Every structure is written in structure tokens, then in C-alpha cells.
Amino acid sequence: MRHSSDDLPVALYSAAQVRALDAELIAAGTPGFALMQRAAHAIWRALRRSWPDAGAVTVLAGHGNNAGDGYLLAVLAVRAGWQVRVLAVAEPQRLQGDAALARDEALAAGVEVLAWEAGHEARGVLVDALLGTGLAGAVREPYAAAIEWMNHSARPVLAVDIPSGICADTGQVLGVAVAAQLTVTLIGLKVGLFVGQALDHVGRLLFDDLQSNVANQSWVAQRLAGDVLPHLPARAPTAHKGQLGHVLVVGGDHGTGGAALLSAHSALRSGAGRVSLATRGEHLAAAQSRLPEVMSLAVASANQLHGLGGNITVWVVGPGLGQSAWGRSLLSVAVTAPAAQVWDADALNLLAEGVVSIPPGSVVTPHPGEAARLLGISTQALQADRPAAARALAQRYQVICVLKGAGTLIADPMGCLLVCDRGDPVMAGAGLGDVLAGLIGALIAQGCTPWQAAGLGVWLHAGAGEYLAGKGNGLAASDLCDAIRHLLQERAACRK
């Protein structure tokens, strides 16, 4: 999904909250039909900016206020001299209230209104004014067929408020959903636009608040944006490595040493004062050669870790750890350490098995498969409602949960939720999670709280992926480390 700019609001709402905001506007004296007219004008402006030479528009209308927006859009297009048709998937005479008034205005303006049939030709820009945010179950016929017709039309599609078939709260596709090139969402941003399968359907996202004032309203989540992220404190001229934390990365069983090396490299480039690596002896030569700045230790047993505990600020445990006796014994030492903890990969798989308990207040960074195991559900069930899953994980284990994937989520045990809408598909590759774990550890080491480090770390990680996406596919996880270092400068001056 691509946004037009980062001037979108931070607050994200549920569908019920947006409906309540709409009702409050009407109760405060703004007629519902006036809001519908504002919506139509906002959509028409967006359509003309995106496709100024289209000259034709086909509106697919349903039965609610979403359809009313579409009928009034058709009026504006007719008045501008465009060729306009409304294909009514719901019977126009069944419309009620403001939507019926919009239908009547369209008919009076000479808009051609036809019953939708699969044999109709798709003309110009298609406008999805079918279902809106009120959808609760799977899309039924004839709406499902109309959505498939739009998706196979090879015409550009603008979705009104949200692509029809997308759940406004979870981003899940409810059977079938419109694949839009542009979505114009209204009054408040819906959390479902930013998570789950919605990312493949929203296209470019534009927002219009319709002159509403929602600044003081409650919300269900926030977007990760620059103005809500912490700044690392500037370093004094006399700063030294002892003031910037000591990160210990624990992992790298037989054949998986690269994962631990990536985390250590990331922690080093992300500003930690000191970085140590505890790994299998077979990886020691590679670690010392590749990362001479990292203090690498060959560890054969848990006993060799005990002496390190008092010198460590943050433990990053799990990258390449494995689930053998070696990994289990090292994880058992981490559990008893007094320092902050970041758990990833096999540390989470061992946690899911009940082998250990994680210290409260730690950060966990599961991908969907690991998160599903931690919750004891299927990956499919987890992906169907990622916000609920992230909150459930944070509450069950009393941790900060970073649920990775497109639209990464950060949740705390109290239910606070952050949504990352940055990143790029070029980041679909191995090792990027190891880099994220090391980055979050380094930020905690430098003074961020676990919650701050999780949010800032995810934001920097995704931003680095966007920065490097212009170079094309084939992104290696280690490529991110230098890009993260440059982006960090935006959040923390090197010197006072």
C-alpha cells in the first residue's frame, strides 16, 4: 500500500467508532445529506486528480450510505460533462433516507441508472460504492459477482471509504474484495485499512475528514509516525561506550550462525556502546573476521554465560538459537538475568513449548507462525485478526509484542496498539527479523524503554527497507544495517 504522503492522521478507529463520529456530527447540527455531499466532492476531487483525462466513470452502487456517496459523485461527473453510468447492484427503489435523496438527485440530473449485469461494459474509472464499512460476514451474491467483475475489468478502480469486502477492523478479506488503485476514506482512518490482507486491496490511500473534529475522540490504535516516536538523547562531547549500553546476542547453533551475526551487526550499527556475541565455537572465526568490533565468545555450555550477566544491559536471545539442549540451556540462563530482554525466533518456539517463562516487560518479535504457536491457534486464524492477536500475546505473556509482517503491529499488556504502514515488499527475505531484534536491543541499551524501542525500531527498520527498495529486489538483510544507521541520525543528533 502506498500513501500519498505522511500527512495522514495518527489515530486509527474501529468501524463502530467511525459510525459514532458520523452520528455525533449529525447530532451537532450537520445534516446527513450535507455530509454525503461533502463526501462526494472529496471523492470527485481525488478522482479528477488521479485520472484527469478519463472522461468517463461507472459507479457500482449498493444499498447504504456508501451507495449515496456514489450517486452524488455521479451527479458531479455528469455536470462536468463526463460520460456517467450507475450500475445498481441493489435495487435503487429500496434505498432509504439520505441514500434515497442522493438517488433522486442523480436521476434528476440525468444520470443513467441501470441494474448491474455481468455483461455490461466497464467504462472509464470504476467507483466501488457497494458495501462500505458495515460488512460483518462473507460477501454475498450479487455483490461477490460484481466485485469479481470489477477486479477482472482491467479498468482503474476507486474505492469509497474502504474496498468492498474488506473488514474495517481487521483488514481481512471477507470472501472476496475489491482490488482498488485508490481508496478515499472519510471522517476517520479505519484500522483495517492498514493491516492484514487489506494491504493488497487499498492501493493509494487518501483521507478527508469532511470538516469533522475528531482530534479528542478515543481511538483503537495509532500509526507509527515521526511525530509520535521518541528521539534518542543527543550524545554529550564526553560520551563514552560505557554510557551507551552493552548488548549480548545469544544464538547461532550448528548451521545457523549467520542469524546471530546479523543481530550483532545490527546492534553495533544501531549505536550500542558495546556488543557481545555468545555462539557456537565453529562460528567464532567468522564472527571475529566479519565483526572485529564485536566481542565474540565461543559457548559450549550455559555455565560460560553466567559470568556475563552483570555486565550486560540487554540480552537479545533467539536468532539461530535452535531447539536442541544447547539452545535450551542458554535460554535458561537468559531467563534469570536481571537485564532487559529481546526474544526472537527459537527463543519464542521454546517459550511456546512451555520450556521457560519470559521475564515480564520483555520484547518479543514473532512472525505469524511463531505468534500462532505462542497463542495455540492456526496461522490462518491469527492472520484473520492480527490486531487482536498482537494484543492477546502482549497480555498473555506480559510483554511488548512486535507482530511482524506487512503492517507490523506493536502491542503492550494494557492494550495499546501501534501500526506500521511503512516498508516495502523487497523486504520479503531471510534474516530481516534478526536485524530488527538487534536494532531493538541497541535502542533499549541507549536508554529507550522497551515500548519506545519497539516502536522506533520497527519504524527505522521499515524505513530502511523503503530507502533501499529503489535498488530493486535481492535485498540482503545486512544491507539494512547501514541504512538504519543513517536514518537514526534523524532521531538522534550525534552530539549536543
Are the C-beta atoms of residues 259 and 320 closer than 8 Å to each other? yes
Q: Is 270 helix (H, G, I), strand (E, B) or coil?
A: coil
Whether residues 394 and 246 fall in one domain: yes
Verify that 236 and 207 share a domain, yes or no: no
Q: What is the predicted pLDDT for the residue at 234?
A: 80
pLDDT of res. 215: 58
* Amino acid occupying residue 187: I
Give the pLDDT confidence score for residue 260 in this predicted structure: 98
Confidence band, pLDDT 50/70/90 cuts, at residue 470:
confident
Residue whose C-alpha cell reads 507482530 in the numeric block: 403
CA pair distance 119, 486, nearest whole angstrom: 54
**Residues flagged as binding site for AMP:** 404-408, 433
Residue with more model confidence, 248 or 2: 248
Cα separation, 349 vs 317, whole angstroms: 12
Report the chain's mean pLDDT, rounded to a whole number.
93
Q: Based on the domain organization, do 187 and 296 belong to the same domain? A: no
Q: Where are the beta strands (DSSP E) in 301-392?
A: 314-317, 340-343, 363-364
Residues 461, 439 share a domain: yes
pLDDT higher than threshold 80 for residue 496: no
Measured CA to CA, the distance from residue 3 to residue 10 in angstroms comes to 13
So what's the pLDDT on residue 216? 59
Mean pLDDT of 191-216: 90
Does residue 478 lie within any of the structural domains? yes
Q: Could you report the per-residue pLDDT of 348-359, keeping only the tens digit for each?
A: 999 999 989 999
Q: φ, ψ for residue 54 (rounded to 5)? A: -65, -50
266 and 126 share one domain: no
Decide which of 346 and 136 is more confident. Answer: 346
Q: In CATH, what number is assigned to the domain containing residue 302?
A: 3.40.1190.20
Q: Is 160 within 8 Å of 69 (Cβ atoms)?
A: yes
Give binding residues for (6S)-NADPHX as ranges: 132-138, 143, 161, 259, 320, 367, 434
- Tell me, yes or no, whether 463 lies in a domain: yes
3-class state of residue 299 by DSSP: coil
CA–CA distance, 34 with 22 (Å, rounded to integer): 12
Q: Taking the CA of residue 389 as centre, how many other CA atoms within 13 Å lie in the half-sphere pointing to its CB? A: 31
Residue 123 in domain = yes
Domain finish residue from 178, 193, 218: 218
> What is the per-residue pLDDT for 232?
81
pLDDT of res. 309: 64
What does the alpha-carbon distance between residue 87 and residue 102 come to, in Å, rounded to a whole number?
15
Distances (CA, A) of 487 to 409, 412, 456, 463, 491: 20, 25, 11, 8, 7
The per-residue pLDDT for range 58-109, each reduced to its tens digit, is 999 998 999 999 999 999 999 999 999 999 999 999 999 999 999 999 999 9
pLDDT in tens, 398-452: 999 999 998 999 999 999 999 999 999 999 999 999 999 999 999 999 999 999 9
Verify that 211 and 233 share a domain, yes or no.
Answer: no
What cell does 387 get? Answer: 490486531
Position 1 in a domain: no
**Domain-terminating residue out of 177, 193, 218:** 218
Q: What percentage of the chain has pLDDT greater than the value 90?
A: 84
* Order of strands across the sheet that contains 363-364: 11-12, 221-223, 417-419, 409-411, 400-403, 363-364, 340-343, 314-317, 246-250, 274-279, 295-298
Its domain, for residue 109, covers 8-218
Q: Is the pLDDT of residue 3 over 50?
A: no
What is the H or E stretch that residue 373 is in? helix 368-375
| Domain membership flag for residue 3 | no
Q: How confident is the model at residue 177 (pLDDT cuts 50, 70, 90)?
A: very high
Question: Are residues 239 and 152 part of one domain?
Answer: no
pLDDT tens digits, one per residue of 8-21:
999 999 999 999 88
Cell of 93: 427503489
Q: Can you tell me the mean pLDDT for 365-389?
A: 97
What is the CA 279 to chain-centroid distance, rounded?
Answer: 33
* 273 lies in the same domain as 205: no
3-state secondary structure of 344: coil
Q: Which residue is associated with the grid cell 539452545?
A: 327
pLDDT given at position 490: 74
Please report the pLDDT score of residue 472 as a whole number: 87
Would you list which residues are annotated within the binding site for K(+)? Answer: 66, 128, 164
Determine, yes or no, domain membership for 223. Answer: no
**Is 308's pLDDT higher than 90?**
no
103 and 183 part of one domain? yes
Is residue 119 in a domain? yes
CATH of the domain at 135: 3.40.50.10260
End position of a domain, from candidates 218, 251, 273: 218
Residue 396 has pLDDT above 90, yes or no: yes
pLDDT above 80 for 343: yes
| 170 close to 389: Cβ distance less than 8 angstroms | no
How many domains is the chain partitioned into structurally? 2
Question: Each residue of 353-376: pLDDT tens digit?
Answer: 998 999 999 999 999 999 999 999
DSSP per residue, 121-142: PP-SEEEEES-GGG--SPPPTT
Show binding-site residues: 66, 128, 132-138, 143, 161, 164, 259, 320, 367, 404-408, 433-434
Three cell numbers written together for 44: 470527485
pLDDT tens for 210-250 read 988 765 578 999 999 877 788 887 888 899 999 899 999 99
Those residues with Cβ within 8 angstroms of residue 8's Cβ, 6 or more apart along the chain or in another chain: 189, 205, 207, 223, 225
* The predicted structure's pLDDT at residue 226: 76
Helix (H) or strand (E) holding 456: helix 450-469
- Confirm whether 496 is domain-assigned: no
Same domain, 80 and 134: yes
Kindly state whether residues 246 and 386 are assigned to the same domain: yes
Q: How confident is the model at residue 492 (pLDDT cuts 50, 70, 90)?
A: low
Is residue 126 domain-shared with residue 271, that is, in the same domain? no
